[in-house]
Amino acid sequence: MSDLQLPLILEADELEKHLGADNLIIVDLCKDETYLQSHIPGAIHLQYPKIIHVEKPVMGLVPDDKELSQVLSSIGLTTDTHVVAYDDEGGGKACRFLWTLDIIGHQHFSLLNGGLHAWANEGHPLDNQSVTATSGDYQAHVSDKGIANKDDILGKLENPNVVFLDNRSMQEFTGTKRFAERGGHIPHAVNLDWMQTMDQSRNLRLLPDEQLQGMLDKLGVTPEKEIILYCQTHHRSSHTYMLLKHLGYSNIKGYPGAWSEWGNLPDTPIEC
């Protein structure tokens, strides 16, 4: 069991205190060139495409157990390891990685609040030496926990105790901008653009909890309901998944294929 007791949303000042700690892996999901230029000391680089599976036109699917086991073993992960993930784009890639850890039952992980923006802009140490992990033997098993699929959603469209939370832009939500054959949104869904949850003046950190909860309450996204999240590929919506988990929501699921599946099928119901 990990001795580290770190919160799900971790501040840069707190992470700096634990650099080099046993049973801690810092995972960098920034662009390759960003990592080579500067990263958190000791951070292991993980390319985002390695944690998703593609069956065009459907993007953002979950890799199978064998693929995930290989990737997680390659970064030296063990069941006791506490993972801190970050990226350079507001947390979408990092949160998709943490969501993946959640659905396989990994117990110990945190999101660096503000990611590389907060770390670098606030004077924390940086390094440009690539880190090679000692490979391990991590066995990943994807469960149904935290995952919704097309059939789940179709069966819950009229359920008043389920909220479909769309984290794309309003233009995508209304269908004026589309990245699939059809535009619009899942019937009865509500929209919260993931960018609206970030504080642009504080290096892309999450907004204060009370402000976030107020935004969610106005949309009817309340803790007693089942919340199913989606975007285009469950990238942006993974960020909102972690936000809800941080706020204490327990019945939350991400839709991996998301709009790249729903919007490319000929017969799924759509609203605009």
- CA 23 distance to own-chain centroid: 22
In a domain, 132, yes or no: no
Is 231 part of the annotated catalytic residue set?
Answer: yes
- CATH number of the domain to which 16 belongs: 3.40.250.10
Cβ neighbours, 10 Å, residue 87: 26
In a domain, 63, yes or no: yes
Residue 36 belongs to domain spanning: 9-121
* Domain count along the chain: 2
- The residue-averaged pLDDT of 125-144 equals 95
Mean pLDDT of the chain: 97
Q: Which region among 3-7, 73-77, 114-118, 249-253 has the lowest average model confidence (pLDDT)? A: 3-7
* pLDDT number for residue 4: 82
Kindly state whether residue 184 falls inside one of the protein's structural domains: yes
Tell whether 72 and 20 lie within a shared domain: yes
> Is the pLDDT assigned to residue 157 strictly greater than 70?
yes
**Average pLDDT score over residue span 65-77:** 97
In the set 30, 95, 231, 272, the catalytic residue is: 231
Residues in the chain: 272
Give buried/exposed letters for 254-271 (b at 16+ CB in 10 A, else e): bbbbbbbbbbbeeebebe
| Share above pLDDT 70 across residues of the chain, in percent, rounded to a whole number | 99
- The proportion of the chain whose per-residue pLDDT surpasses 90, expressed as a percent, equals 98
Are 114 and 30 found together in one domain? yes
How many contiguous H segments (helices) and E segments (strands) does the chain have? Answer: 10, 13
pLDDT value of position 105? 97
Position with higher pLDDT, 5 vs 190: 190
Give the Cα separation of 108 and 77 in Å (integer): 11
Enumerate long-range contacts of 195-198, CB under 8 Å, 24 or more apart.
195/90, 195/169, 197/239, 197/240, 197/243, 198/90, 198/91
Q: How confident is the model at residue 177 (pLDDT cuts 50, 70, 90)?
A: very high
Q: Is residue 135 part of a domain?
A: no
Q: What pLDDT is recorded for position 13?
A: 98
Residues 39 and 82 in one domain: yes
Q: State the average pLDDT over residues 107-132.
A: 97
Alpha carbons 11 and 113: distance in angstroms, whole number: 5
